[in-house]
Amino acid sequence: MKAEYVIVGAGSAGCAMAYRLAEAGKSVIVIETGGSDVGPFINMPAALSYPMSMKRYDWGYQSEPEPHLGGRKLACPRGKVIGGSSSINGMIYVRGHARDFDYWAENGAHGWAYADVLPYYKRMEDWHDGGRGGDADWRGQGGPLHVTRGPGDNPLTQAFIKAGGQAGYQLTSDYNGEQQEGFGPFDATIWQGKRWSAASAYLRPAQATGNCEVVHGTAARIVIVDGHATGVELTDGRSVSADAEVIIAASAINSPKLLMLSGIGPAKHLSEHGIAVVADRAGVGQNLQDHLELYVQMAAKGRHSLYKYWSLLGKALVGARWLFTKTGIGASNQFEACGFIRSKAGLDYPDIQFHFLPLAVRYDGVGAREGYQAHVGPMRSKSRGAVTLNSADPNDDPSIFFNYMSHPDDWDEFRACIRLTREIFSQDAFTPFACEELIPGVDAQSDAALDATIRAHVESAYHPCGTCKMGSADDPDAVVDPMGRVIGVTGLRVADSSIFPRITNGNLNAPSIMVGEKMADHVLGKQPIAPSNDAPWIHPDWKTAQR
């Protein structure tokens, strides 16, 4: 098996790269462990909680015991299926804030400022406003990735946006446009009632060119000869040769794992596992970041929430309608309202995100009842963790230690998240619906009581990133340069969320795909798309006002 380019991982960034390389006439082999993404659990948007907990589709990773969360092990789902995590995620589409990318560029990822990445977001999008307003000048049309909006007609969903305005916050018609800050409708990678994953948007069109082949197998190591990557060895003994380059797009968990198995990483750690050192890169596996979130959960009066569909019969009717018409409740991920706010004055852009859900339920579908909830958490935790090897066996899971809530600022920020959410839920817009607070509960008012709630109830938002940090070639902690090339080896790149220097605002699927889009131009040696001159909205009183 041989191609000009071998991509490890058919996930968000890998699929985008495969399409752009195949479109340019290059021969591409994509290596993917997981199987088909065909099936109702993946393709029905409202069924999103199922695939991320199914062994068939998910690697099933867990964190190590987290000392600041009472020793809990937290779930870390990663897609093991065609489309990768874009086939099992919540389908929420958030570009990130302009300041996120400016930070990247200012810290060594030259050429990745907001002005540089905005044209790639526009190139990849086919945006549909769904009649709910928007910022068309800032959005893309005709790209591979359909981005849509749910109807937003649930009265609880409408109340959340209204309550944000009543609390004195901005309203924004398009948080992916000029103004992220405020409350408004969510965007989603859903098209014609079905999940629109990276496999649908990119991989199948890549295969249709005749230049892209998918090989099912698990990468054991990158074959490196005299400091140059020449191919990939699979766990079953097969090998795939690359005439031009090997590109790793295997996730923030598996990309550093594969680099370390191939001899690229912290020399001491590799030697402990008997792995010959090819390139001593201290940053491989380090800098692990994620978003944590808590459900501030309310019981509700009336029958306005999604709970009326929660019976076996209700689910059957929703499923049947979706199966035959691709419409109704099943055609939405039900995350149709959101908010991005600043926790205090002196911050120039939002550091808190809200996902609103018109139902009281855990993310795994347990404990549903009549109610509603906001998933809330800080965007830029200062805590850092690491992905390391448990052994030199490629079939062994890596060790994943997020080190959640290890920085004291995290606790201040999380308490602010809870108190600000309560204030929003106390607005007049929720008066017809509000009943009792379930989580944290009205008795949890002191810092100590809120900390206990946080310790017991926070969960990952499933946004791991940062473990193969992009930076300047002379940065000892950088793993790849701004063109994605692994420092210390030739013919090898990384392109996925692992290269993020710092986590971006919101959900990570959109920036992961953007990385694949932009990195494809670097691989092809093309001149990057001309930077944009569009300046994002920043609150005029950010220095002195929180809202």
Active site residues: 463
* Cα angle: 60, vertex 62, 63; to 5 degrees: 160
Closest alpha carbon to 369 in 317, 316, 435 = 435
Could you tell me where the beta strands, DSSP code E, fall in 471-539? 492-494
Q: Is the four-CA dihedral 129, 135, 141, 147 of positive or negative sign?
A: negative
Query: Residue 521 forms beta bridges with which residues?
Result: none
Please check if 81 is assigned to a binding site: yes
Q: What are phi and psi of 50, to 5 degrees?
A: -80, -55
3-class DSSP state of 326: coil
- Residue corresponding to tokens 């400022």: 113
Query: Residue 294 forms beta bridges with which residues?
Result: 376
Structure tokens at 507: 């959900």
The CA distances from residue 35 to 49, 143, 196, 362, 455, in Å, are 19, 26, 17, 27, 36
Start-to-end C-alpha separation, the chain: 58
* Burial class of residue 69, CB neighbours in 10 A (0-12, 13-18, 19+): buried
Q: Is the peptide bond before 440 cis (omega within 30 degrees of 0)?
A: yes
3-class DSSP state of 78: coil
Binding-site residue numbers for FAD are 81
